[in-house]
Structures are given as C-alpha cells and as structure tokens.
Structure 1
Amino acid sequence: MAGLSIWHVLIFAIVVILLFGTSKLKNLGKDVGGAVKDFKKSVRDDEAEQAKLQEPRTIDAQVKTPESSVKS
C-alpha cells in the first residue's frame, strides 16, 4: 500500500503529542486560528475596497463642495 493508513496517522499523532505536549499544541492551534481569521478579514477588506473602486462614479460624487464655500 502506497498511502498512509489510519494507524500510521494515529502513531504519528501520538509521537507529536509526546514530543510537544498538549499545551504547546493548544497554543499552536490558537495561533494558527488567529492567523487564519486575520487573513480572512484582510481578504474581505480588500474585496470591499476593490468593489468600491469598481463602482461607477458620478459628477456629484467627484465634486463635493463644502456648504460654507457655496454661501459666500
């Protein structure tokens, strides 16, 4: 058999737990989860920015004058 069986994966997991301990693995999981969350947030922000840039622009949106300069 060329692939990994469930027993290979189980033995590998036990060795990793014995080497690093559960507390380090727990912290590693939190760090990876936080990194993934930040990555997803930045992708959403970039998509929102790209969508904003793709919106059609009107003359009213381009020329915004403050009311104080109009009343002069």
Structure 2
Amino acid sequence: MGFGGIGFWQLLIILIIILLVFGTNRLRNLGTDLGEAIKGFRGAMNEGGEDKNKNSEPKLEKIINHDEPPNGKV
C-alpha cells in the first residue's frame, strides 16, 4: 500500500498519465521554475534577516586599558 491506500501500480499509471498530458519538457520547465522560485524566496528571507541586523543598535564593546591596574585584589 502506498499513499492513502493507493498501490504502486496505481501511482505508476497516474505518473504515466501526467507525463502524457503535460509532456516531459513542460514538467522539466515546471521543475526549473519551482526551483528558481524557492531559491529566490530563500534569498529574500536571508536579505530580510541582514537588513534587520543592520538596523539594530550596535553592540557595545568593553574597552580594556592595560595601563591601569585591574579592580579588586590581585
């Protein structure tokens, strides 16, 4: 049994019908377009995260002066 009670042979027949209706070139183009859309979406999500980090307040860094002795007992 496969997906939802559909067996291997039923899935194979459905795949053959899809290939006959759409053709291999159209399915290949559809796969390429889908892949490019996913890459574009991921790129937009990454750019959005970078913009968010750029607009946030800068992190404060601790300045260490080596000329002064440290606070507390040594």
What are the within-5 Å matches in structure 2 for residues 19-34 of structure 1? Answer: 19-34=21-36
* TM-score, length basis structure 1: 0.65
* Structure showing greater Rg: 2
* TM-score, length basis structure 2: 0.63
Over aligned residue pairs, what C-alpha RMSD do you find? 2.2
Q: Gapped runs of 5+ residues in structure 2? A: 61-74
Matched residues, number:
58
SS of 1:8 mapped into structure 2:
helix
| 2:18 is equivalent to residue 12 of structure 1 | no
Point out the structure with the larger helix share. 1
Identity over the aligned pairs, expressed in percent? 38
Report 1 or 2 for greater relative contact order, CA contacts < 8 Å, sequence distance ≥ 6: 1
